[in-house]
Structure 1
Amino acid sequence: MYQNNPTKCLTGEVRLSFVHLDQPYSNNGGEPKYSATLLVPKKDVATVEDLKNSLNTAYENGVKNLWKGSRPQMRYPVIYDGDGTRPSGEPFGPECKGHWVITASSKQKPQCVHISNVHADLLPTDVYSGMYARVTVNFFPYDASGNRGVGCGLGNVCKTRDGEPLGGRANAESDFAGLEQAAPQQPQNYAAPQQGVNPLTGLPW
């Protein structure tokens, strides 16, 4: 529960993966949405319990209101075990080990701020897969085309610190390691060109 809303949570520090917070993204041809996958450390017991309680509350709301007393089986779990496998049967990536994995999405663009200043939005370049943040999410029941379950709505994102980027993108420091050289020294008899004159042609530039 967060802000007296039993289906809303403010997570502890999580790591973000598959970040689409600046532009909406269509997954498998579906409706484009803003989204991010949250990697919740299993050792963060408080956040894990809060997420589970809020999810269960949303499910009970669905039973009472949306599903008219029916208790549908959850076709897809909302929270996955990062030490287990994806719905496809493939294992999760190594960054998911020791974490619970949950994907949150929204039709509305979330605000992304830094913990040092929650009044100003971050630049898109400061938001990426691999960074750490605290995130608000809200669980809700749904009934769409015969599919019933609980979804996870994405609220806003508060970046806490940088992290190793995910997705295989290298930074310049790692790409050019060992290539850095000191600036070449000018020969002793070198004469600096006059200002405004091309030293090769003698013509002004």
Structure 2
Amino acid sequence: MAITKNNPLKIVLGTCRVSYVHIKEPAAFEDSDPRYSVTFLIPKDSPDVERIRAAIRSAYEANKEGLFKGKPLSSPKLWNPLRDGDEVLEEFPERKEYEGCYFVKAASKTQPKAFDTDKQEILDLDEVYSGCYCRGVIVCYPFNNKLAGFGFYINSVMKMRDGERLGGFEATADDYDDEVEDFLG
């Protein structure tokens, strides 16, 4: 649960709930290239919040004059990937899991590894789903193309425990218990 000493941009997150998990297959948003991604929901009082801010500051300091042309870190023209979940609730009140949290999306063109708590690779990636609790290794990077700011790569996740699934439904054969005989026709 720290920034690695040799790379201030690399963070090993503590346990937090995950949402919008796309580690089995990459997903595309609007007209973007498909990417593997995970959104981490981080309680506002977690030390990970300051670790993420420190990684963003490090990326900024290394690129302040070149890539960002002197814009201050607080500029609204620089994208900050650490978002306030309580603001999401204003637009999407059904997303109760965001309450009291910040969130950060980490993505990559390459598939991240998934591990269990015994540090064994998880081969059935359906075991890592939106709503479970994971740790993650993420790396901050700066960018300046159509927009300027910061993003995070996802290197790996470690599933810590199950949780209630988010944003979907569970299929069960029990849905078909009533009047099965009527449909055998």
* Aligned positions of 1:1-205 closer than 5 A: 1-44=3-46, 46-71=47-72, 73-75=75-77, 76-85=79-88, 90-91=91-92, 93-116=95-118, 118-145=119-146, 147-170=147-170, 172=172, 176=174
Alpha-carbon displacement from aligned partner over 1:138-172 (angstroms, at most 9, x marks no partner): 11111113x21111111110000011011131353
Amino acid at match of 1:52: R
Tell me which stretches of 4 or more aligned residues in structure 1 moved more than 6 Å. Answer: none
Structure 1: state its 5+ residue gaps: 180-205
Q: Distance in 1 between matches of 2:68 and 2:45?
A: 34
Bigger relative contact order, structure 1 or 2, given CA contacts below 8 A and separation 6+?
2
Structure 2: state its 5+ residue gaps: 178-185
Contact 1:83/1:96 (CA < 8 Å) preserved in 2?
Answer: yes
SS in 2 for 1:84: helix
Contact 2:24/2:126 (CA < 8 Å) preserved in 1?
Answer: no
Displacement after TM superposition at 1:49 (Å): 1.1
Contact 1:61/1:141 (CA < 8 Å) preserved in 2?
Answer: no
SS in 2 for 1:120: coil
SS in 1 for 2:17: strand
SS in 2 for 1:12: coil
SS in 2 for 1:30: coil
Contact 2:38/2:107 (CA < 8 Å) preserved in 1?
Answer: yes
Q: Which protein has the larger Cα radius of gyration, Structure 1 or Structure 2?
A: 1
Give the share of equivalent positions with the same residue, in percent: 32
Displacement after TM superposition at 1:111 (Å): 0.1
Alpha-carbon displacement from aligned partner over 1:69-123 (angstroms, at most 9, x marks no partner): 444724433111111237xx7146101111111111111110011112x232331
Contact 1:143/1:149 (CA < 8 Å) preserved in 2?
Answer: yes
User: What is the TM-score when the length of structure 1 is the normalising length?
Assistant: 0.75
User: What is the TM-score when the length of structure 2 is the normalising length?
Assistant: 0.83
Displacement after TM superposition at 1:130 (Å): 0.6
Q: Distance in 2 between matches of 1:3 and 1:158?
A: 20
> What is the alpha-carbon root mean square deviation over aligned residues?
2.2
Displacement after TM superposition at 1:65 (Å): 4.1
